[in-house]
Amino acid sequence: MAAAKSVVLVVISCCLIAASNGMNFPSFFPRDKFGGFPSFPAQNIFSPLMLGYYNRPGICKQNPEVIIQQIVNGSVAADRTLAAGLLRMHFHDAFVRGTEASVLLKSPNNDAERNAIPNLSLRGFEVIDAAKAAVEKVCPNVVSCADILALAARDSVVAIGGPWWPVPTGRRDGVQSHASETTDLPPPSANFTQLLSMFQKKNLDKVDLVALSAAHTIGRGHCGAFSSRIYDAAGNNAIDPTLDAAYANKLRGFCPPRDTVTTVEMDPNSSLNFDSHYFQAVLAKQGLFKSDAALLTDAGARSLVQTGASAPIIFKSQFGFSMTKMGKIGVLTGRPGEPPSQIRKQCAFVNP
């Protein structure tokens, strides 16, 4: 045992020395001044969000984060596929108006975000509603739907063996939701230039793009989202050359032409486990969407994909780092100059 630990320490030490000497040691993490991998950023005293916001004295009778985790754990235990649904919902919320729960709102005119085509397949609304109802019983009018969604996404990933990451809380809920604004969501047909531009507009970088793309390690995708890759790429009914031919033929077996209903695993044979297999699939030209294959068209992104495939611990750490970062997009905390916000009593409806 002692010898094994010594070997591990030597390997880590060598890697850190190589990194600090400027050697080509690919890593997701930005290197700190010591050449190592930084931990999650310390709480910024000027940040509008804070860790344990609801666990301060006098705020709630019970810690709402524990209640939310219990609801999520029970839901995911009953249906493991909900982890992908909750994670995707958080992503779709963050990229449109920020993490202020606009994706949860319903509209009598069916023109809210959840009515837009990219969101029609979102799943897990009932989990968020159940968590909100449970929290309201012990801490009424305090915990936002935006925080519940951010926490639920994290807890759902942990529930299937994925990484834990810190979720600072204190968000408020937005009061608007427009289907027309879902054009901010990166489409599965996007090329690398388009993807990077859309991420950069949200203050996310190339490392975040690659790390967060690996959310495709869980969940399923509709045939219509990739049909052009297996039937009519370039308009000649040929298979997309960036897709493995044998894999494409397998997909054809699941997805007849013009099928928009059937779903297939986004990460072949590993869609219920949060792991780094996604990167192995991408390198094998088995990324389901054009946006997955696009990661190999940029040298820096390709290097990160290779790192993710060979170093799952580094990937999982960076995934959590990027999720914490994404969770801070466009937050509302009631500061002067912000759009109107509130703590919704029901997540699907603005308070009267």
Is the backbone of residue 147 left (phi > 0), alpha (psi -120 to 50) or beta?
alpha
Distance CA 92, CA 70 (A): 23
The answer to whether 130 touches 75, Cβ cutoff 8 Å, is: yes
| The pairing of beta strand 220-222 with beta strand 341-342 | unpaired
DSSP class per residue in 237-302: TBPPTTS-HHHHHHHHHH--TT--S-EEESSTT-TTS-SSHHHHHHHTT--SSHHHHGGGGSHHHH
∠ CA(282), CA(285), CA(291), 5° rounding?
60
Q: How many CB atoms lie within 10 A of CB 228?
A: 15
Q: What does the DSSP 8-state code read for residue 62? A: S
Q: Which residues partner with 302 through β-bridges?
A: none
Residues with active-site annotation: 92
Distance CA 231, CA 227 (A): 6
Q: Tell me the backbone φ, ψ of residue 50, rounded to 5 degrees.
A: -150, 150
Tokens 């809210």 belong to 112
